[in-house]
């Protein structure tokens, strides 16, 4: 198996921008959010389960899962959240492992937004890379990107691990409170480090 770097961070921290830079430098990126979207798009492998568990009210006109309605439901109903996770998580993990095993890059960046919150996270990756930024930066980025109300973004942040918890779990930390150039410089340094680790067989 290749060297697997678990990349995580809070909403709006810049995980996608960091992952794109790692991919540009040649790493194989396996993104659990992207896999979840594939599973819940029209014709996705999870859609029959979504329909049977939640009904047609949570399917949009295209046949995909209605993500906004589902997000509202799982935030208000913990049991619904558990049912959705029980459906999706095994499928996501299975597809992630398949893609990691098939990786052609010198190492794998495995993007898992809730990596720290997952009980077995440390066994699934060789190193934990946390993308970090101040909460006010997270808030501004998510609101600009999605148009969510401030209260909605704060609710998501509150449901995730704290910055301190993520920092404590990190083997490597990227400060993404600044510019894209700053992020790229830090990713470039880590890329060189990960190449060395991969060549040394970890």
Residue 177: per-residue pLDDT: 93
pTM of structure: 0.90
Half-sphere exposure of 180 (CA within 13 A, CB side): 6
Residue 118: per-residue pLDDT: 84
Distance CA 186, CA 202 (A): 21
Phi, psi of 109 (to 5 degrees): -105, 110
Residue 144: per-residue pLDDT: 87
**Contact present, 150 and 143 (Cβ < 8 Å):** yes
> In the chain, what are the domains?
1-27+107-202 (3.40.50.300), 36-104 (3.40.50.300)
Report residue 51 as tokens: 């329909």
Question: For the chain, how long is the longest CA-to-CA vector?
Answer: 52
Residue 147: per-residue pLDDT: 80
Residue 50: per-residue pLDDT: 95
Q: Could you tell me which residues come within 8 angstroms of residue 129 by beta carbon, excluding any fewer than 6 positions away?
A: 5, 6, 7, 8, 18, 109, 170, 171, 172, 173, 174, 190
Please list the pLDDT of the chain residue by residue as tens digits (202 residues): 899 999 999 999 999 999 999 999 999 999 999 999 999 999 999 999 999 999 999 999 999 999 989 988 988 899 999 999 999 999 999 999 999 999 999 999 999 998 998 878 788 899 999 999 999 999 899 888 888 888 888 888 888 889 999 999 999 999 999 999 999 999 999 999 999 999 998 5
Q: Taking the chain, what is the end-to-end CA distance rounded to the nearest angstrom?
A: 11
Residue 202: per-residue pLDDT: 58
């Amino acid at each position: 198996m290749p060297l697997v770097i678990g990349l995580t961070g809070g909403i709006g921290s810049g995980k996608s921008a960091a992952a794109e830079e790692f991919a540009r430098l040649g790493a194989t990126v396996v993104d659990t959010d992207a896999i979840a979207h594939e599973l819940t798009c029209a014709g996705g492998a999870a859609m029959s389960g979504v329909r049977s568990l939640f009904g047609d009210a949570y399917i949009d006109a295209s046949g995909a899962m209605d993500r906004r309605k589902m997000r509202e439901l799982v935030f208000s109903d913990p049991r619904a959240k558990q049912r959705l996770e029980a459906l999706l998580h095994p499928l996501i993990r299975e597809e992630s492992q398949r893609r990691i095993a098939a990786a052609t890059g010198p190492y794998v960046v495995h993007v898992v937004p809730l990596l720290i919150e997952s009980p077995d996270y440390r066994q699934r990756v060789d190193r934990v890379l946390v993308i970090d930024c101040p909460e006010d930066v997270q808030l501004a980025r998510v609101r600009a990107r999605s148009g969510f109300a401030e209260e909605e973004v704060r609710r998501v942040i509150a449901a995730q691990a704290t910055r301190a918890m993520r920092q404590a779990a990190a083997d490597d930390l990227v400060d993404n409170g600044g510019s894209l150039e700053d992020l790229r410089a830090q990713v470039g340094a880590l890329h060189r480090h990960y190449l060395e680790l991969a060549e040394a067989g970890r």
